[in-house]
Amino acid sequence: MNILKKTNLFAFVFFPQGTVFPSQITNERESLLMVKKLFATSVSCIMYLRGLFPESCYGERRLDDLSLKILRGNKKCPGSLHIIKWIQGCFQALEKKYNVTEIYQFKFKYTTEGATMDFDSTSTSFESGTYSDDIKKASILLIRKLYILTQNLGPLPNEVILTMKLHYYKEVTPHDYQPPGFKEEEKNSRFLRFEGEPVNMQVGLVSTGFHRMKVKVTTEPSRVSDLENNLFLENSSTEIAHQGLDCDEKKEECNNQVRPSFRDPPLL
């Protein structure tokens, strides 16, 4: 099976038509599947709203009143295949219970305690108990806030570099472990450093009782001056607006400068 078939399989196995998140979570296996879906949905949201790939790189799914764009493979945009390769590498790390963090920070914590959902919102708080309705509401609110945030950051420059980095707990992760698509960071790496002091924004946290996923966005202060009021509106309407590149309209291949964090996956 070539890499394009694998990536399309990824989109439609994890996101079959008519369903996104499990209706209930009763065990660790169901929790793992839900966290994988929420992670892939969030990454796809960022890719779509930042205009990194054309429309043809996405499939559409619905979550209540949200229209979700889920990344899928497109051989005309090798970068989209890279991102799915990274996501699948993160899935392996999750299965092995090696914690993960990114600059669009998705923090995963494994716990047997009851769930706590704190959105840093002045109007919404979920505490104690693992109830499927609360988990779904938490997931929808996280994705909605991510939509609002990324749509208000403005378009990216014409030339951008996309990369991903994983962090692990040393005491539980084998020294030589790297998931597919990654390799050990070089010493003294100047990876993802801002000019000046950046702003950190807590987007949301979802916990199932078995896994915990937290999303934080870091950006330049000048890009977030008008976001504070919009970001935490729970019931605000959310429409998807794709920014930037659409290679299909120009009938040319998508040549986004995508740099995997530590290794190029093969294009088969």
Pairing mode, strands 161-162 and 116-117: unpaired
What is the reported pLDDT for 199?
78
pLDDT > 90 in the chain, percent: 0
pLDDT at 56 over 70: yes
Pairwise pLDDT comparison (48 vs 225), residue with the higher score: 48
Alpha-carbon distance of 48 to 67, in angstroms, equals 12
Pairing mode, strands 199-207 and 211-219: antiparallel
Mean pLDDT, rounded, for 103-114: 50
What is the reported pLDDT for 266?
31
The 3-class secondary structure across the chain, one letter per residue, is CCHHHHHHHHHHHHCCCCCCCCCCCCCHHHHHHHHHHHHHHHHHHHHHHCCCCCHHHEEEEEECCEEEEEECCCCCCHHHHHHHHHHHHHHHHHHCCCCCCCCCEEEEEECCCCCEECCCCCCCCEECCCCHHHHHHHHHHHHHHHHHHHHHCCCCCCCCEECCCCCCCCCCCCCCCCCCCCCCCCCCCCCCCCCCCCEEEEEEEEECCCEEEEEEEEECHHHCCCCHHHHCCCCCCCCCCCCCCCCCCCCCCCCCEECCCCCCCCCC
97 near 172, Cβ under 8 Å?
yes
Q: In terms of pTM, does the model score above 0.75?
A: no
- Comparing C-alpha atoms, which of 62, 252, 19, 46 is closest to residue 163? 46
pLDDT at 123 over 50: no
What is the reported pLDDT for 22?
62
pLDDT at 188 over 70: no
**pLDDT averaged over the chain?**
66
- Residue given tokens 């369903």 in the structure block: 19
Alpha-carbon distance of 158 to 219, in angstroms, equals 18
pLDDT at 52 over 70: yes
What is the reported pLDDT for 65?
78
Domains, in order of start, for the chain: 3-172+196-258 (3.30.900.10)
Mean pLDDT, rounded, for 39-55: 86
155's CB contacts (< 8 A; 6+ apart) are 51, 243, 244
What is the reported pLDDT for 29?
84
Q: Phi first, then psi: what are they for 103, rounded to 5°?
A: -70, -40
Encode pLDDT of 1-30 as tens digits: 344 444 444 444 445 554 566 667 888 888
Question: What confidence tier does 139 reach under pLDDT thresholds 50, 70, 90?
Answer: confident
Encode pLDDT of 143-164 as tens digits: 888 888 777 777 777 777 777 7
pLDDT at 68 over 80: yes
What is the reported pLDDT for 3?
42
